[in-house]
Every structure is written in structure tokens, then in C-alpha cells.
């Protein structure tokens, strides 16, 4: 599973859309979806994880388990 899919899964459980996360954090539209093909920078992943109330490690573990 990609980091994007893991973020999407956590966001869904928290009642947030990827679009809303990007808007609230001042990220460009489609920024998080790029994580479907590449690994995000640690700072941006932490920013998104903090927004969702989880840790970066939690998101990475979900992505790893989904493979």
C-alpha cells in the first residue's frame, strides 16, 4: 500500500477528505496524491499526521502492512 492510500484511509476514519487536508495545511491541490508514487518528505508527512491526530510512524506502519 502506498503512503497516499494509508493517509486516505486514516483521513476517512477521521471524517476528512484529502482535499480538505491540503487546503487546511496550505498544500497545493494534488500534493498528497503524489505520495501514491513517491515517498513524502518527513516534514510534510509529520504535518499531515499531526493534522490527523496520529504519528508519522502510524501512517507508515499502515502503508507497510498493506503491502
* pLDDT for position 16: 96
In the predicted structure, residue 25 carries a pLDDT above the cut 80: yes
Q: What is the DSSP string of 4-65?
A: HHHHHHHHHHTT--HHHHHHHHTPPTTTGGGGGTSPPPHHHHHHHHHHHTS-HHHHHHHHHH
Q: What is the mean pLDDT of the chain?
A: 94
pTM of the model: 0.90
In the predicted structure, residue 58 carries a pLDDT above the cut 80: yes
CATH topology of domain 3-65: 434 Repressor (Amino-terminal Domain) (1.10.260)
In the predicted structure, residue 4 carries a pLDDT above the cut 70: yes
Amino acid at each position: 500500500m502506498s503512503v497516499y492510500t494509508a493517509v486516505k484511509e486514516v483521513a476517512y476514519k477521521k471524517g476528512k477528505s484529502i482535499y480538505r487536508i491540503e487546503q487546511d495545511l496550505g498544500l497545493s491541490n494534488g500534493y498528497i496524491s503524489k505520495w501514491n508514487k513517491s515517498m513524502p518528505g518527513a516534514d510534510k508527512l509529520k504535518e499531515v499526521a499531526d493534522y490527523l491526530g496520529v504519528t508519522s510512524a502510524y501512517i507508515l506502519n499502515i502503508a507497510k502492512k498493506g503491502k
